[in-house]
Structure 1
Amino acid sequence: MPDILEQAIKSLAIQEVRLRNTNINFADEIAPLDIKNKKLEVQVIHGVEKIQTHHLQEGESDWLEYNFFYKAGVRLVDVDSKETPLIEIQAVFNALYRTEKQLEKAALEAFSENHVGYHVWPYWREYVQSTCMRLGIKPIRVPLYRVKTK
């Protein structure tokens, strides 16, 4: 399996990261100032949802674009009630990579486990922090991205 992952790492060149869609929910019964008085737990989800392939031709070169859809979410839950989240922020980003050769599905899946998140995570952290400011709440601290080692 490491050979397959190495093939993807050497072949895929990141082109850009785009925000694809987002969803923000702020519980109606909570005012931004009320959050300061609550004991909160932060819950995080993230991962690649799907991968799309596009064939491109620029001049005399043929390229493949791999578009990874990376979903990330964070929510604040009242530790005492554990009911519906007080705040929930979710986003889907597109991480767009180019290569000159077709990659196996296993190589793309191995690459998506750590490397796509590594490229998307700074955009996600900035998005959460700026969204919190717009909501009038203290920024939720999204931790730095950690590459999983086996």
Structure 2
Amino acid sequence: MTTNLELAREVGAHVVLRSITLRNAHIDSNLNPLHVPSDVAMTQGYRSSFSQHEEDGRKQLIVLTDFKFSAKVGAGDNSDAEGVEQSDEDLVALEATFQLIYSLPLELTVDEECYKHFAEINGPYNAWPYWRELVQSVTGRVGLAGITIPVFRPPKIEIQKQEKKIAKEKKTKATK
């Protein structure tokens, strides 16, 4: 069985990271910094997409990684502190998109699935320090000091590649 990390490595062994840029960012804050709740629940997520281009005699892989962060009044905060409304509304919501440009050898030919897994793993992995810094500085500026996003650990997922599946089906038919 093949993993997503192995498929991503098919591309990762050949890339050179050329740039990481912040494409857009948006923040909404409903936090009263003079009345920060004692219990704040935080969530975050990300997703990546990719496209390929050829420019200046190089193959380029463009990865866009979208991040989301939100902080709400936590379920354990039963205080009715002045200025803190008990609601499902975000205290802070932050969204950002980073663009990563990688160059590849023109002669490299790998399965499209490898590019997909590379984008899903390496896009967030390479942009993660920039995302962590953005969350920490923005949340501090709106009154939620000390927010540190944990280290990124890409999940290892087993993948059944299509050609292995077809070969297995042929072998099963031949033995019947």
SS of aligned partner of 2:127: helix
Q: Which fold has the larger relative contact order, with Cα–Cα distance below 8 Å and residues 6 or more apart in sequence?
A: 2
Q: Give the greater-gyration-radius structure (CA).
A: 2
Instruction: Find the counterpart in structure 2 of residue 16 from structure 1.
Output: 19
- Structure 2 residue identity aligned to 1:77: K
Instruction: Find the counterpart in structure 2 of residue 124 from structure 1.
Output: 131
Query: By how many angstroms is 1:102 displaced?
Result: 4.8
Instruction: Find the counterpart in structure 1 of residue 50 from structure 2.
Output: 51
Find out whether 1:32 has 2:33 as its counterpart: yes
Q: Deviations over 1:18-55 (max 9, x none)?
A: 0000110012xx311222x341101111120x212221
Find out whether 1:92 has 2:93 as its counterpart: no
Q: TM-score, normalised by structure 2?
A: 0.73
- Structure 2 residue identity aligned to 1:31: N
* Cα separation, partners in 2 of 1:15 and 1:131, compared to 1, 3 Å: same
**Which stretches in structure 2 are left out of the alignment for 5+ residues?**
76-85, 158-176
Alignment check: 8 A CA contact 1:20 1:92 kept: yes
- Structure 2 residue identity aligned to 1:95: L
Instruction: Find the counterpart in structure 2 of residue 77 from structure 1.
Output: 72
Alignment check: 8 A CA contact 1:64 1:102 kept: no
Find out whether 1:138 has 2:145 as its counterpart: yes
RMSD over aligned Cα atoms: 1.8
Alignment check: 8 A CA contact 2:32 2:143 kept: no
**Which stretches in structure 1 are left out of the alignment for 5+ residues?**
none
Alignment check: 8 A CA contact 1:33 1:137 kept: no
Higher share in strand: 1
Distance 1:38 1:4 in 2: 44
Query: By how many angstroms is 1:92 displaced?
Result: 0.3
Q: TM-score, normalised by structure 1?
A: 0.84
SS of aligned partner of 2:70: strand
Q: Which among 38, 56, 62 is matched to residue 67 of structure 1?
A: 62
Q: Deviations over 1:110-133 (max 9, x none)?
A: 112222211010010011112123
Alignment check: 8 A CA contact 2:47 2:66 kept: yes
Query: By how many angstroms is 1:108 displaced?
Result: 0.8
Count, aligned residues:
142
Find out whether 1:149 has 2:156 as its counterpart: yes
- Structure 2 residue identity aligned to 1:43: T
Alignment check: 8 A CA contact 1:5 1:107 kept: yes
